[in-house]
Amino acid sequence: MYDELERLDRAMKADPKGPGHFPEPIEWIAGLRTTIGPDRSYPNLKAHRGELVGTRDRINTWMQDHPDDHR
């Protein structure tokens, strides 16, 4: 799930509309990176599962409220 969020972050930043079109999701992913820290090991990611799922769900909800942004 972490890798999916990283790919999504890169895609939003590379979108022709620009990263300013996705301010909240980009901010949430940046916050997640800070929370998780540099340790990408399975035990650390598992310990932060709630934050990972929460961030994913917040982004999904945000995208549903912005249907022109769905791909």
Render pLDDT for 8-63 as a digit per residue (tens, 0 to 9).
999 999 999 888 889 999 999 999 999 999 999 999 999 999 999 999 999 999 99
The tokens describing 61, both together, are 């909800």
Q: Return d(Cα 23, Cα 59) in angstroms, integer.
A: 11
DSSP codes of every residue in 4-65 = HHHHHHHHHHHSTT-GGGSHHHHHHHHHHHHHH-S--SHHHHHHTHHHHHHHHHHHHHHHHT
Work out the angle at residue 62's Cα, subtended by the Cα atoms of residues 11 and 19, and round it to the nearest 5 degrees: 35
Global model pTM greater than 0.85:
yes
Looking at residue 17, its pLDDT comes to 87
- Please say if the pLDDT value at position 70 is more than 60: no
Looking at residue 43, its pLDDT comes to 97
Looking at residue 61, its pLDDT comes to 94
